[in-house]
Every structure is written in C-alpha cells, then in structure tokens.
Amino acid sequence: MIDIRLLRIEPEAVKAAISRRGEDASVLDRVVQLDIRQRSLAEERDQIRNEVNKISKQVGGLHRDGKTDEAAELQVRSRELGVREDELAAEVDSLAFEIREILLRVPNMPADETPDGLSEQENVLVRHENWNPDAYGEHQRVPHWEVGEQLGILDVERGTKLSGSMFVMYSGMGATLCRALIQYGLDRNADAYREMRPPTLVKTTTMVSTGHLPKFEEDAYHLERDDLWAIPTAEVPLTSLHRDEVIDEEDLPLKLMAHTSCFRREAGSAGRDTRGLLRVHEFDKVELLAYATREQSPEVHADILDRAEAAITDLGLSYRVLDLCAGDLGGSSARTFDLEVYAPGADQWLEVSSVSWFSDYQARRANVRYRPDGEKGTKIVDTLNGSGLAVPRVWAAVVETYRQPDGTVAVPEVLQPYMRGATTIG
C-alpha cells in the first residue's frame, strides 16, 4: 500500500499520482482526516497511560509510608483513567483498521516515467522485434485451436467436459510441448534466479500482500471451507516468502523463480478472446521475482525484461514491447512493460509477460524489510517480477508460427532437447 507518511507530508502530490490512473483520489481526504484523528487520540491515550504509571508508583510509595487512605483515593483515580485509556485504545485501533481497509483498495502511485493515459489504447509502443506481417504463409494463418485439433495435441472439448468452459487439455506432443516450454523457461534463468516450488493454495494474508485482495476478489478462486485461495501467479507466494522478516542488505537483490499452475476466473471476459488458449482459467507459468533496494530496482527491472525478451527471441517468435500507461497498470504496479507475441493464425498480439516494478507497495503490505549496511533501523524493500515464460499463449504462437505446408509443426531448435529429440509434431 502507499506510505501513509508520504500522504501526511504531500497529500496533494499523492492524490495527483492516483488521479493519473483515472481513479477517484478523494477517498484519500478521508484517510487524512482519520489519520489526524487517530494520532490525536493515540497521543491522549499515551498521556493517560503515563499518568497511570506515575500514579502506580505514587500508590506504592504511599503504602510503604502507611498512608493507605491517600493510596486508595489515587487507586480510584487510576481505575477511572484506566477505563478512559481502554476506550481510547479501542478507538485508535478501530481508526487504524479503517485506514488500512481504505488503503488496501487504493492502487500504487505510477512512476514518474510511466506514460500518461487512461486505457490500453494509450500504451506506448516501444518497438517491434522480428516482425514482418507479409512474411507469413497461408499455412501459418490457421489458428492454433484448429491445428491442435487436426494434430490431436489440444483437446478443448474434453477439457470443457472435465472442468467447464475455458479449461483445456493438452494431449500427446501437445502436453510434451507444455513441459518443454516450462523447463526451457526455468533452465535459461537458473544462472541468477533460485528455483522455488511454492504451494499453489495460499492464505488470505498472502493474497492481500500482493494486492490481489481485497480489490480483485472476483478474479480469484476461493476454497471457502479451508479459507485458501488458488494462486493467480507464483508472484503471490514468492512475495510473501519473507513476510514479516528482515533481510540483510548484502543478500539483495534476492532473485527467485518458480513454475506453478495459475488460476484466474477471468471475470467479465465471457465471449471475449475465449477460443483455444487465448484466455483460460488454468495455465502454467515460470515466474521471475526479486526483492531489491530502491537503488537496485532499475537494473533488476531491466534484467527481468531482458530475460523475458531473450526467451521469446530464441524461440524465433515475433513480439512487441509496450510501455503501459498509468490507467492500464495493474493495481500494485508503478511501472510495467508488456511483451506481446504475434500469433499469425489468430492474427493477434498476445500478452505473454508483464514485467513490473512495484516500488515498496507490495512489500509494505507484506512487511518485508531490509537492514541497510551501517545504518540503524530498517527499510521496506522493493519488489519486481515478470513472466519468464507463460505457457498457453507462447504454445499458441509456436504452433501457429512453426506450422508447415504439410500441416505438421516444426519444433523450435531450442526446445528440441526437451522434446525427447522430436523435431516435428505430426
């Protein structure tokens, strides 16, 4: 969440930043009022607490001097003050809870470098890579759901039968291609990112830490009986890996990666880009995540972006890089670059990675801190992440791009070691 201390000092600047997203920032006026009230009551509570402590010492001295009547009078006064202290403490806690509940729903402030704009139409195209719209043959203009059915490698109908709409089943070499992409995504980042395998089901506090709750509850799968949530991305458990902990600065940046299944309801997407693998409820993804200091964050952000781009480049796919405008940022992000691959069969640009810097927004919610070298106290870390490789849409782009005139699909060279030596899917 945003730093309430910054809101106290520069309320107008914070409101202006939130307004860049197209959000109503007036709720922050309420936070400022509540904060003033809470701090005033907390000061009064502390003054009473100090007075009670002084009276307690006086009562002890009076008892030692045999002045029991005077001690009794002070004890009555102490009890009266104690009642008031409890009332103030309860009100302070109530105000703190209300402030937190409001701030949990306020998005992050966009970075100064984030382009202005309120919708995806205003995102900034940074560049295209390896793309020539006239270079694709007719055999590549067949959508992957048709290719998958023809080759028996993607079974949307049975996936729907098993689990409902927007669930799919990979079969034979289609399933092997999924596994190959996952291992490829992990191996190419193992030089700098420590592999983890976190749980797929997490507590509510874990989802709150990344900003997925409470604001985006409708997009998540909830197991009410156990109060556990199916993760929408490995970002969720990895961000909370060091929740309520203090990291030594010498251990930063701390770089992690994980392959997990991911679950998203895709609320509001009915009838929109739902064919084949364009938008599914369950998918596999390799996630890259880092904890960093503010000074380290630009370099780490660039590193994750470079790695995500390199994975797509080495697969021989066409892609473009977008600098997301303020109004299209995810709720927790301060700056995001999207990678979109071109799928010639579907004739669409498909988002395959959002490489984001969250500043200290998520880590403040998760209470992840670090101890600066040679300084007293602690600071909140920054978090950053991006998809090292998200399977479904990359799978789709590979199948469409590498489809041959005879209907088979050539396996990209970098994936062949993971495909049991197969060079063609037929």
Token readout for 254 is: 């701390």
Q: What percent of the chain has pLDDT over 90?
A: 89
Please give the order of strands across the beta sheet that includes 124-129: 124-129, 319-323, 335-343, 348-357, 382-390, 282-292, 254-263, 194-196
For 348-407, write each residue's pLDDT tens digit: 999 999 999 999 999 999 999 999 988 899 999 999 999 999 999 999 999 999 999 999
Predicted local distance difference test score (pLDDT) of residue 115 = 98
Helices (H) and strands (E) in the chain, counts: 12, 18
Give residue 270's pLDDT band: very low, low, confident or very high (50, 70, 90).
low
**Of the candidates 327, 278, 387, 361, the residue with the CA atom closest to the CA atom of residue 105:** 361
For residue 62, pLDDT beyond 80: no
Predicted local distance difference test score (pLDDT) of residue 165 = 93
Are 358 and 384 in contact by the 8 Å Cβ rule? The answer is: yes
Name 272's Cβ contacts closer than 8 Å, sequence gap at least 6.
Answer: 279
For 80-101, write each residue's pLDDT tens digit: 999 999 999 999 999 999 999 9
Return mean pLDDT, the chain. Answer: 95
* Domains detected in the chain: 4-103 (1.10.287.40), 120-425 (3.30.930.10)
Least confident of 69-73, 206-210, 295-299: 69-73
Predicted local distance difference test score (pLDDT) of residue 143 = 98
> Residue 88 forms beta bridges with which residues?
none
Least confident of 6-15, 56-65, 113-122: 56-65
Token readout for 52 is: 């009670």
Tell me the mean pLDDT in the region 329-337. Answer: 98
> Hey, is 282 helix, strand or coil?
strand
